[in-house]
């Protein structure tokens, strides 16, 4: 017989507080044991503004009440001030998934009732804490996610450059594999500077493109006007600005990795205390794995941190990262459900953000209504069916009788 760990520790909490967080305020529910009557609990609900002074005052009040745990629902990014300030005050803060604390359907829904329901679930140990990394890892995550967004924006503006060239009948992207390579960028700068001669522009080719000069002359022959030149200058300036910001973020990410240390997993090197391993060294070890580049290794460390004690087994980590299907078992039937959706930034070996533009969307997100029945085609698109004249209908078989005749 398998013994469960929950049999010894049911997770109940005597003094608990729950916060239903909104944009400008939070509804706080405090539940503590009664002073004189055993088995009865005292409940208090009030509203707290989401300003720094109000949250600090709330932290002092909860500490005076001896609150053992503060539970709050993940609501956008509005939970961050409450979580960070109360955590710095010394309180045990739990961030829970809104899916796990949904109220019973059919009951009224208000902020007060949601806070009371969350507090009741927390005091009975019926919630699970979400993974919130420590402050250095959170700062690294902010940098990597911002870099991913900037890379996507730069790719979007590169596509706009090609769109402007197509509008001017310049088919350069059909001949050049990389429009922003050395040769392609030189031609774009010359076009923005006012050069219009296809032969002069084709002479800017370098490397293997020198063999394609006739094709380049044909592709650069178009109707490129001053309007396209002004638009191209703006787009190229935006691409250069985003490239400079990405380089700065790369420098800050490397600097942050140097400041993060992880405990040494192997045997102690000596009698003195271990200095730990730098997160940059861990990123270099991840870079040695096939399919993981330097940027992907940095994203992995930013998303899961360096402390693997938060995940009991590798299977827990894979499940948390939404990389394995969900198990569904009912009776003798075992099926698998969808893996679910994790955080938006592409991580865990899906390629470096510099090599990919926007994250690839799943088929369900591209076709959210594919489970609905198809709409009928318009009348002008329907294929007319040949009508059969009444005289040529198939005769009714006499063996087919109605149920009433039987």
Give which of 146, 169, 228, 159 is closest to 195, Cα–Cα.
228
Q: What is the dihedral of CA 266, 271, 273, 276, to 10 degrees?
A: -30
Q: Name the pLDDT band for 235 (thresholds 50, 70, 90).
A: very high
**Does position 405 have pLDDT exceeding 60, yes or no?**
no
pLDDT of 204: 93
- Kindly report, residue by residue over 310-330, the tens digit of the pLDDT: 888 988 888 888 888 888 888
Whole-number pLDDT of residue 261: 84
Average pLDDT over residues 65-83: 91
Q: Please choose, from the candidates 232, 181, 189, 188, the residue with its C-alpha nearest in 3D space to the C-alpha of residue 209.
A: 181
Measured between alpha carbons, how far is residue 246 from residues 178, 241, 249, 299, 352 in Å? Answer: 19, 9, 5, 14, 13
Segment 162-188 shows an average pLDDT of 93
Output the average pLDDT for the chain. 82
- pLDDT at site 363: 44
| Phi–psi pair at 358, nearest 5 degrees | -90, 150
Task: List CB contacts of 102: < 8 A, sequence separation 6 or more.
Answer: none
- pLDDT tens readout for residues 269-280: 555 444 578 888
Nearest Cα residue to 21 out of 39, 2, 40, 48:
48
Query: Which pLDDT does position 3 carry in this prediction?
Result: 42
pLDDT at position 305 over 70: yes
pLDDT of residue 351: 40
Has residue 19 got a pLDDT over 90? Answer: yes
Pick from 345, 359, 351: nearest CA to 146: 345
Over range 10-18, report the average pLDDT.
84
CB atoms closer than 10 angstroms to residue 6: 9
Please count the residues of the chain. 406
Query: Which structure tokens are listed for 150?
Result: 């900037």
Q: Answer yes or no: is pLDDT of 242 > 90.
A: yes
Alpha helix locations (H) across 203-268?
213-219, 226-259
Answer yes or no: is pLDDT of 111 > 60: yes
pLDDT tens readout for residues 343-359? 654 444 444 544 444 34
Residue 37 binned pLDDT confidence (cut-offs 50, 70, 90): confident
What is the sign, positive or negative, of the torsion defined by CA atoms of 364, 365, 366, 372?
positive
> What is the percent of the chain where pLDDT is above 70?
78
What mean pLDDT comes out for the span 180-199?
94
d(CA 315, CA 54): 41
d(C-alpha 126, C-alpha 97), whole Å: 12
Residues of the chain with pLDDT > 90, as a percent, come to: 53
Instruction: For residue 94, give the DSSP letter.
Output: E
d(C-alpha 170, C-alpha 162), whole Å: 9
Provide CB contacts within 8 A for 402, sequence distance 6+: none
Write down the pLDDT at residue 250: 96
Q: Give the model confidence (pLDDT) of 370-402 as tens digits.
A: 555 566 666 656 666 656 555 555 555 555 444
Collapsed DSSP state (helix, strand, coil) of residue 22: coil
pLDDT of residue 100: 78
Q: If pLDDT is split at 50, 70 and 90, which confidence band does 332 have? A: confident
Q: Is the dihedral of CA 217, 218, 219, 224 positive or negative?
A: positive
Q: What is the pLDDT of residue 266?
A: 53
Q: What pLDDT was estimated at residue 104?
A: 72
Provide the whole-model pTM: 0.75
| Coil, helix or strand at residue 117 | helix
CA–CA distance, 45 with 60 (Å, rounded to integer): 16
Please report which helix (H) or strand (E) contains residue 73, including its range: strand 69-73
Extract the tokens encoding 232: 């191209």
Adjacent-strand bridge partners of 323: none
Average pLDDT rounded to a whole number, residues 244-253: 96
Looking at residue 131, what DSSP letter applies?
Answer: -
Structure confidence at residue 82 (pLDDT): 95
- Classify the phi-psi angles of 340: left when phi > 0, otherwise alpha if psi is within -120 to 50, otherwise beta: left
Distance CA 316, CA 312 (A): 6
Nearest to 144, CA basis, from 342, 302, 305: 302
């Amino acid at each position: 017989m398998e013994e469960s760990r929950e049999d010894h520790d049911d997770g109940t909490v005597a003094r608990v507080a729950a916060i239903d967080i909104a944009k400008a305020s939070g509804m706080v529910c405090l539940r503590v044991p009664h002073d004189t009557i055993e088995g009865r609990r005292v409940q208090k609900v009030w509203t707290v503004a989401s300003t720094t002074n109000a949250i600090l005052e709330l932290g002092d009040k909860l500490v005076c009440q001896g609150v053992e745990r503060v539970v709050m629902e993940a609501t956008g990014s509005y939970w961050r001030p409450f979580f960070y300030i109360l955590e710095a005050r010394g309180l045990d803060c739990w961030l829970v998934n809104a899916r796990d604390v949904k109220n019973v359907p059919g009951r009224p829904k208000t902020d007060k009732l949601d806070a009371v329901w969350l507090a009741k679930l927390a005091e009975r140990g019926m919630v699970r804490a979400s993974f919130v990394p420590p402050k250095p890892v959170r700062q690294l995550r902010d940098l990597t996610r911002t870099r991913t967004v900037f890379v996507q924006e730069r790719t979007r503006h590169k596509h706009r450059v090609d769109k402007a060239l197509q509008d001017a009948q310049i088919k350069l992207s059909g001949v050049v594999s990389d429009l922003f390579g050395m040769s392609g960028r030189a031609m774009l700068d010359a076009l923005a500077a006012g050069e219009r001669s296809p032969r002069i522009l084709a002479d800017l080719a370098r490397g293997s493109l020198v063999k394609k000069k006739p094709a380049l002359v044909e592709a650069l022959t178009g109707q490129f006007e001053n309007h396209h030149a002004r638009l191209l200058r703006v787009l190229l300036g935006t691409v250069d600005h985003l490239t400079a910001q990405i380089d700065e973020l790369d420098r800050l990410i490397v600097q942050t990795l140097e400041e993060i240390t992880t405990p040494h997993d192997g045997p102690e090197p000596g009698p003195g205390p271990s200095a730990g391993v730098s997160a940059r060294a861990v990123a270099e070890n991840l870079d040695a794995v096939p399919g993981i580049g330097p940027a992907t290794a940095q994203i992995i460390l930013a998303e899961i941190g360096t402390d693997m004690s938060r995940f009991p087994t590798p299977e827990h980590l894979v499940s948390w990262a939404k990389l394995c299907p969900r198990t569904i078992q009912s009776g003798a039937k075992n099926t698998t459900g969808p893996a679910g959706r994790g955080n938006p930034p592409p991580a865990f070996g899906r390629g470096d953000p510099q090599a990919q533009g926007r994250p690839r969307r799943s088929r369900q997100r591209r076709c959210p209504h594919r489970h609905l029945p198809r709409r009928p085609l318009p009348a002008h698109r329907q294929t007319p069916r040949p009508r059969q004249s009444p005289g040529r209908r198939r005769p009714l078989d006499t063996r087919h009788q109605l149920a009433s005749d039987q």
